[in-house]
Amino acid sequence: MKFLLIISFVISCLFAEDFITMKEYAKMLYENPRGIGCKNCHGERGEGKILAYYTNKGIKTPYLIPSIQGLNFEDFKKSLMQIKSVKSIMPNYSLTDNEIIALYNYINQDKEQKNEK
């Protein structure tokens, strides 16, 4: 009996490790999609950030990456589906609908939680 308990404990641990939640999956996608991570440009949770500074006519100018939090889902999806202009430094990703939904929820989950408070 004791042996069976130990075995079932070991098995449940093994499965527990394989199982990732939707939140973990979305985090993984956000940080490491196929290509360069969204995080590198849009910040930890899509809040946007200054990626670098460049000099424009002698003035130090920040290169701002926009926040992608709080967009409506249609706009979010549209900008991920469309081919980026040559001027854009954002890569074109070929994300599936489910990946786009997961990313959207990941980026906006904190906001929703804050709104609830």
Chain residues binding ligand HEC by CB under 6 A are 33, 36, 38, 40-42, 65-66, 68, 71, 75-76, 79-80, 84, 88-91, 93, 103
Under 8 Å between Cβ of 68 and 42: yes
Whichever of 68 and 108 has its CB closer to ligand HEC, that residue is: 68
CB-nearer residue toward ligand HEC: 11 or 36:
36
Shortest distance in whole angstroms from residue 27 CB to ligand HEC: 12
Nearer to ligand HEC, 10 or 22 (CB): 22
What residue number has its CB nearest to ligand HEC? 38
Q: Supply the minimum distance, in Å, between the C-beta of residue 100 and ligand HEC.
A: 8
* Nearest partner of 41 among 23, 75, 68, judged by Cα: 68
Kindly list the distances between the CA atom of residue 102 and the CA atoms of 20, 24, 109, 110, in Å, as whole numbers in the listed order: 13, 10, 10, 14
Quote the CA–CA distance of 41 and 56 in Å, as a whole number.
21
Could you tell me the end-to-end alpha-carbon distance of the chain, in angstroms, rounded to an integer? 48
